[in-house]
Structure 1
């Protein structure tokens, strides 16, 4: 059974970024490797060594 996205992002899974803690919502591009997705953005990926500090987004 294949489900299609109907525009309701609340029904998509999400998990926190390992660096800043901000929730990142599932994307189709991450379908094959969702378990390995750790960062919400390229900036957090680059700052992964600073993961003890809480980054401010906004």
Structure 2
């Protein structure tokens, strides 16, 4: 089913990002989905150090 999507890497990147966010929360690195997606769209300009950490963990 994944191959039927127009851009399957977008779907997989989203799953990896959510896993990185959940794993980072265990280490008390808290960020929001909005901050994560905004930083990805803005060419990785980070306003929050926790967001940077989660993106790097991904």
TM-score interval for Structure 1 and Structure 2 normalised by the shorter chain: under 0.3
Kindly name which structure, 1 or 2, has the bigger radius of gyration based on alpha carbons. 1
Tell me which protein shows more strand as a share of its residues: 1
TM-score (norm 1): 0.28
Tell me which protein shows more helix as a share of its residues: 2
TM-score (norm 2): 0.28
